[in-house]
Amino acid sequence: MTSKNADGDQIKDRLEQLRCHFTWDLLIEDTAMPDLENRIFDEIEFLDTKYNVGIHNLLAYVKHLKGQNEEALKSLREAEDLIQEEHGDQSGMRSLVTWGNYAWLYYHMGRLAEAQTYLDKVENTCKKFANPSSYRIDCPQMDCEEGWALLKCGGKNYKRAKACFEKALEVDPENPEFSTGYAITAYRLDGFPGATQMSEAFCLNTLKQAVKLNSEDGYIKVLLALKLQDVGQEAEGEKYIEEALTNTSSQTYVLRYAAKFYRKKGSLDKALQLFKKALKATPSSAFVHHQIGLCYRGQVIQMKKAANWQPRGQDRKNVERIARLAISHLEFALEEKPTLDIAYVDLAEMYIEAGDHRKAEDTYQKVLTMKVLEEEKLQRVHFSYGRFQEFQNKSEDHAIIHYLKAAEIENASFLRDKSIRSLEKLALKKLQRNSFDTETMRILQFIHKLKAEMNKALEGPEAHC
């Protein structure tokens, strides 16, 4: 028994030297697991890519986390078959991650002899490349595979994914796969709360370079189109969208992002038409359901605007009907991906339009108690909840609390300005009723101080030279 324990410890030491999904410290929240698994299946089925081995390896790791080790072994076999098909001549080097995953999996299953067999395969390959370590090798392909795994596992892993692709590109700057991974990571990181801000030009250039090296890849083209739209070059972006839509490459992904492009452009009917096509292929996609919910939310806003923000009679019924459509898709998105924090605000606002204030309150409470909401999102939650308190619950005091919280978040935005204006309006109203209200006076002083600071920031340092 003791010798078996000693063997196990020895194997564990070797396993920890491997480069594979079990040692990459992939941060995956339990609640995000069903959505991650859905996205992996979507990618296997619908993303036309030459880089499919990694996604089967990731699926094996996710299956293991769910306690489905036999299923995990099946995924690793699929990864092995693909390596033989695509990289027969250099399959040893390409198999290192898969073999590492096999070794870990067999170790967790208590099958130590089989774990050792795969450790031996890794060791023999590493020796062949005269590597100083017996169980790990530094090569750009390995960095790239780690980058893809990190990228797929969500926002907390993006910075590390970027570093992996950068390292791979240093060795082989013209590699289409490394370039694609780097561009997608830069696109995701751009505007990601808490990420180091990159210049718009940097993000655009990485996408343009990836499109140049992968001219048939429709997926990367639609991401470039969305980025061009963000920087005010919508017409140029639309050319890439039209090009990608006529191509059969990764059509389901192209439909999703082309639809998002048209939603942001305000062409909601066209966006809905494309999203519904994408939904037929991927009926469980939290992303697609959330986006469809946003399209219907956009239609609600358009209808209210047309009715001068006071829809009555048939107009009111239409608003409620479309709000109900938005609700069904937003609820589904959150069932599939409970971590999709900002969708709770979209859902709460649609409950309000449908007249369901109790559900709106519950939804706001859910998002307000979520851990570590980024400042930008928290600002929107407080502003939206403040409006709900002011207009639906008729509670000025509660509204003031939440407008104040939104205004205190030092994230310069349209919503912060609106929160300050709403706060000032309510405070002045209260002061008219009671000119000795010291608490309200303090709030007004705070607003004036804030406005002065904001004006100073707008003028910039050169204004005071």
- Per the document, the length of the chain is 465
- The vertex-138 CA angle with 135 and 143, nearest 5°, equals 115
Is 300 inside a domain boundary? yes
Residue located via tokens 């939650």: 381
Please tell me the distance from the alpha carbon of residue 162 to that of residue 67, in angstroms, as a whole number.
30
**Are the CB atoms for 285 and 320 separated by under 8 Å?**
no
Residue 378 located in a structural domain: yes
**Of 121, 137, 153, which one is at a domain's C-terminal end?**
137
Lowest mean pLDDT among 188-197, 258-267, 358-367: 188-197
Task: For residue 405, give the nearest of 425, 424, 386 by alpha carbon.
Answer: 386
- What pLDDT is stored for residue 193 in this prediction? 64
Structure tokens at 274: 């494309």
Question: Is 8 part of a structural domain of the chain?
Answer: yes
Domain contains 238 = no
Distance CA 63, CA 33 (A): 10
With CA atoms as reference, report the closest residue to 82 among 64, 45, 56, 61. 56
Angle, helices 268-281/286-306, rounded to nearest 10 degrees: 160
Distance CA(70)–CA(65), nearest Å, equals 12
Report d(CA 105, CA 74) in Å as an integer.
12
Look at the chain and report how many structural domains it folds into. 2
| Distance set, CA 435 to CA 33, 154, 427 (Å) | 55, 52, 11
318-339 confidence digits (pLDDT tens): 999 999 999 999 999 999 999 9
Beta-carbon-side half-sphere exposure of residue 188 (alpha carbons within 13 Å)? 21
Last residue of a domain, one of 91, 117, 137: 137
Q: Kindly give the interhelix angle for 112-128 and 96-108, rounded to the nearest 10 degrees.
A: 160
Residue 91 lies in a domain: yes
Is the dihedral angle over the CA atoms 348, 353, 357, 359 positive or is it negative? negative
Q: What is the CATH number of the domain that holds 417?
A: 1.25.40.10
Has residue 287 been placed in a domain?
yes
Q: What is the band of 465 on the pLDDT scale with cuts at 50, 70, 90?
A: very low
Express as a percent the part of the chain with pLDDT over 70.
94
**Is the model's pTM score more than 0.95?**
no
Tell me what pLDDT residue 462 has: 47
Residue percentage of the chain with pLDDT more than 90? 83
Mean pLDDT of 70-84: 95
The full 3-state SS of the chain, as one line of letters, equals CHHHHHHHHHHHHHHCCCCCCCCCCCCCCHHHHHHHHHHHHHHHHHCCCCCCHHHHHHHHHHHHHCCCHHHHHHHHHHHHHHHHHHHHHHHHHHCHHHHHHHHHHHHHCCCHHHHHHHHHHHHHHHHHCCCCCCCCCCCHHHHHHHHHHHHHCCHHHHHHHHHHHHHHHHHCCCCHHHHHHHHHHHHHHCCCCCCCCCCHHHHHHHHHHHHHHCCCCHHHHHHHHHHHHHCCCHHHHHHHHHHHHHCCCCHHHHHHHHHHHHHHHCCHHHHHHHHHHHHHHCCCCHHHHHHHHHHHHHHHHHHHHHCCCCCCHHHHHHHHHHHHHHHHHHHHHHHHCCCCCHHHHHHHHHHHHCCCHHHHHHHHHHHHCCCCCCHHHHHHHHHHHHHHHHHHCCCHHHHHHHHHHHHHCCCCCHHHHHHHHHHHHHHHHHHHHCCCCHHHHHHHHHHHHHHHHHHHHHHCHHHHC
User: Contact, 105 vs 118, CB < 8 A?
Assistant: no
Residue 133, pLDDT score: 74
pLDDT tens digits, residue range 23-54?
Answer: 999 999 888 899 999 999 999 999 988 768 99
CA distance 198 to 154: 19
Residue in this structure with the two tokens 């009715």, named with its chain if needed: 307
d(CA 402, CA 443): 13
Q: Domain for residue 414, yes or no?
A: yes
Q: Give tens-digit pLDDT for 107-148.
A: 999 999 999 999 999 999 998 887 677 899 999 999 999 999
pLDDT in tens, 151-166: 999 999 999 999 999 9
Rounded-to-integer distance, Cα 223 and Cα 190, Å: 12
Amino acid at 230: D
Statement to judge: residues 132 and 278 lie in one domain = no
Domain boundary among 98, 122, 137: 137
In angstroms, the CA 393 to CA 404 distance is 17
- Cβ 181 vs Cβ 209: under 8 Å: no
Confidence of residue 341 (pLDDT cuts 50, 70, 90): very high
| Residue 224 in domain | no
Where in the sequence is the domain holding 389, given as residue range(s)?
273-464
pLDDT at 85 over 90: no
